[in-house]
């Protein structure tokens, strides 16, 4: 581990308060070709009347703004060194445990990877399950889970828990009794679809999207009625405007995203039908604008030679109305994505105050290696700065919004392209970052990987891999394969960074105690000082950590921290799927960078709950 402060710290001339929207009940090295940091001016602020925290955790991201910040401060930088295990629970399962537990009204709820059991624990009787619900998913669904049979969590709303099973069902379960309220099939595993994402509930609608881009599954996001499970609308990520729910209210900021039926015309004939753009990542919601935001995944196949054009509406971000799903704007992070740079990462919603006027913005660290600041009302890019080593592009043109690709890194048949940085998991993959209003910093778990890639012709057969690429990943500059970075979104610079042996594949948690939590793939759960990155406490768990840490108040009023260990997911498949470490192409090439992981950890899921004595 290596902690580096980026200078003595950057002067904070602005006051910061996070936009905790409607809480539902509660320096890496840069390529010489990349531009200098793009500064923005102003301060991040919001009226304190919009902030509330009652010690619960009702959704994976904690709140609609996706801050993963808690106002609890009983555990702080001064006493966190005394943190100890309060209780644990072993799931007995080997796939990656990526979910965030929920805590509502003194009960903890959590989902497991396949077979997607939902547990409820009464926190007054710790370590004993109150009830469990078993959906009995079709085991055939594991064959179309490209990157481990994971589940990223559930959402609570109005007395019900909503979550997905791998085999294509969205489920509503009574939070009180564990009885199934409804179970709706929304995806078809025979087409290569699966469900791994955590739903978001907005205005009584359960928003859910599919996985399956590596199988040629066409991406979509759907809204289900929270009471009945009936599908209300579905917005596809490719195809004609009518399918994408693009109408007269659609106003993209940039010319490249304007035009009729671009979801058809930006593809070779018929290719959009198997073009991916899946919605397996994170959603955020602004109740004042009545818009929700989410990203779309990579186009298929990986071989870009088979899909000339910008491949709308993949590898980008939509702003939509939850009422009818109609699109308001779209921005494409990576037009004609050539490296599997899914655009599905989380977006944090805050306000930027400039000369007394508040501007609603969106913070995003994308797989393509850039940290973006967007105007979330219009989709305008205010800044885009590399946060990792980037060789695949030369920057983002703020006039056109377009990513300037490095022509010498574009894969082509019969040729191996080397030194592709970041690798396909990106500068940062799904692992969610956190934001603290006390420091004004984003806390980012991320990767430091590069790859070599060659492409070949891919043929489409429903339900089978649709790739056309051979990839081998390896560590990026300096040899560390991951890092945990505190990033200042206004100065567009890192403030401090902790280098880690492996990709930091866990989520981040920030608290008002000025402590930030994250886990490593070797199994270390760490608490670090939010202001300087100094490690204040660490605990070795039974398995590598790819889960999302949370904090909550126990029924006795005691602050607790919870996280799953259980290595897996794409990054940890070498252990959870027992892959041959001698095969650098396994796990879509990730095994090349992770072949030694089994020397440091083993598979197996355990929930840990920590508290002060």
Is the bond preceding 89 in cis, omega lying within 30 degrees of 0?
no
The CA–CA distances, whole Å, from 107 to 173, 561, 609 equal: 14, 14, 13
Task: Give the DSSP H/E element, type plus range, for residue 87.
Answer: strand 84-90
Q: Are 513 and 37 in contact (CB under 8 A)?
A: no
Q: b/e map of 88-106 (b: 16 or more CB within 10 Å)? A: ebebebbbbbbbbbbbbee
State the Cα–Cα distance between residues 170 and 106, nearest whole angstrom.
25
- Order across the sheet with 524-529: list the strands: 69-70, 509-511, 515-519, 524-529, 535-540
Please say if 340 is a catalytic residue. Answer: yes
Please say if 214 is a catalytic residue.
yes
Cα–Cα distance, 62 to 101 (Å, whole number): 10
DSSP 588-603: GGTHHHHTTGGGT---
DSSP string of 91-156, one letter each residue: ----S---PBPEEETTEEEEE-STTT-EEEEETTSTTSEEEEE-----GGGGGG-TT-S---B-EE
Task: Tell whether the torsion through CA atoms of 209, 210, 214 and 215 is positive or negative.
Answer: negative
Strand, helix or coil at 453?
A: strand
Q: What is the CA radius of gyration of the chain?
A: 22
SS (H, E, C) 494-561: EEEEEEECCCCCCCCEEECCCEEEEECCCCEEEEEECCCCCEEEEEECCCCCCCCCEEEECCCCCEEE
Which residues, including other chains, have CB under 8 Å from residue 231's CB and lie 6 or more apart?
A: 184, 186, 222, 223, 224, 225
What is Dmax (Cα atoms) for the chain?
A: 65
Instruction: List, in sequence order, every residue forming a beta bridge with 233; answer none if it has no partner.
Output: 223
The string of DSSP codes covering 305-347 is GGS-S--TTSSEEEEE-TTT--EEEEEESSTT-SS--------
Catalytic one among 298, 303, 311, 591? 298
Give how far Cα 612 sits from Cα of 81, 107, 508, Å: 9, 20, 20
CA 1, CA 406: separation in Å to the nearest integer? 32
User: How far is 308 from 295, CA to CA, in rounded Å?
Assistant: 21
Of 98, 214, 366, 454, which is the active-site residue? 214
Looking from the CA of 315 toward its CB, the CA atoms found within 13 Å total: 25
Q: What are phi and psi of 197, to 5 degrees?
A: -80, 160
Catalytic residue status for 148 = no
In whole angstroms, what is the distance from residue 560 CA to residue 567 CA? 22
- By annotation, the residues acting in catalysis are 214, 298, 340
């Amino acid at each position: 581990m290596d902690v580096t402060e980026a200078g003595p710290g950057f002067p904070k001339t602005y006051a910061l308060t996070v936009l905790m929207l409607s809480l539902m009940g509660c320096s890496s090295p840069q390529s010489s070709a990349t531009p200098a940091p793009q500064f923005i001016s102003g301060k991040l602020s919001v009226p304190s009347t919009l902030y509330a925290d009652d010690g619960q955790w009702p959704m994976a991201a904690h709140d609609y703004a996706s801050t993963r910040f808690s106002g609890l401060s009983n555990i702080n930088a001064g006493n966190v060194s005394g943190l100890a295990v309060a209780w644990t629970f072993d799931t007995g399962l080997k796939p990656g445990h990526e979910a965030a537990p929920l805590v509502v009204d003194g009960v903890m709820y959590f989902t497991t990877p396949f077979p997607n059991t939902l547990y409820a624990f009464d926190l007054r009787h710790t370590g004993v399950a109150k009830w469990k619900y078993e959906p009995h998913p079709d085991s055939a669904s594991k064959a179309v889970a490209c990157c481990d049979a994971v589940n990223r969590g559930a959402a609570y709303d109005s007395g019900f828990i909503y979550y997905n099973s791998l085999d294509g069902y969205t489920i509503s379960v009574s939070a009180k009794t564990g009885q199934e309220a409804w179970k709706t099939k929304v995806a078809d595993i025979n087409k290569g679809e699966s469900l791994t994402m955590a739903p978001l509930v907005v205005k009584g609608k359960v928003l859910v999207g599919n996985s399956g881009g590596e199988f040629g599954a066409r991406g979509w996001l759907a809204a289900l009625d929270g009471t009945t499970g009936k599908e209300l609308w579905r917005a596809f990520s490719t195809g004609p405007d009518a399918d994408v729910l693009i109408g007269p209210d659609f106003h993209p900021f940039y010319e490249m995203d304007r035009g009729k039926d671009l979801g058809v015309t930006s593809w070779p004939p018929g290719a959009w039908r198997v073009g991916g753009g899946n919605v397996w990542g994170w959603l955020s919601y602004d109740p004042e604008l009545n818009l929700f935001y989410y990203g779309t995944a990579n186009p298929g196949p990986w071989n870009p030679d088979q899909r000339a054009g910008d491949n709308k509406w993949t590898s980008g971000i939509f702003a939509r109305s939850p009422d009818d799903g109609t699109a308001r704007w779209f921005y494409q992070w990576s037009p004609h994505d050539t490296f599997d740079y899914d655009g599905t990462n989380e977006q944090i919603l805050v306000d930027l105050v400039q000369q007394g006027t508040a501007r609603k913005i969106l913070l995003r660290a994308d797989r393509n290696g850039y940290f973006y600041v967007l105007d979330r009302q219009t989709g305008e890019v205010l800044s885009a700065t590399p946060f990792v080593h980037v060789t695949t592009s030369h920057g983002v043109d703020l006039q056109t919004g377009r990513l300037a690709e490095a022509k010498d890194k574009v894969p082509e048949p019969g040729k191996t392209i080397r030194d592709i940085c970041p690798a396909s998991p990106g500068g940062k993959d799904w692992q969610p970052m956190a934001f603290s209003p006390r420091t004004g910093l984003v806390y980012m778990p991320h990767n430091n990987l590069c790859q070599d890639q060659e492409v070949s012709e891919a043929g489409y057969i429903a339900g089978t891999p649709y790739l056309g690429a051979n990839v081998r990943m390896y560590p990026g500059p300096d040899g560390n394969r991951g890092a945990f970075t505190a990033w200042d979104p206004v100065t567009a610079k890192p403030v401090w960074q902790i280098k880690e042996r492996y990709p930091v594949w866990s989520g981040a948690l920030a608290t008002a105690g000025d402590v930030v939590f994250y886990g490593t793939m070797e199994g270390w759960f760490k608490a670090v000082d939010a202001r300087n990155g100094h490690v204040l406490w660490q605990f070795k768990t039974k398995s590598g950590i790819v889960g999302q840490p949370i904090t909550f108040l126990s029924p006795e009023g005691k602050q607790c921290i919870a996280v799953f260990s259980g290595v897996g997911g794409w990054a940890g498949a070498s252990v959870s799927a027992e892959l041959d470490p001698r095969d650098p192409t396994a796990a879509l090439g990730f095994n090349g960078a992770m072949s030694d992981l089994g020397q440091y950890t083993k598979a197996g899921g355990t929930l840990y709950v920590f508290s002060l004595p």
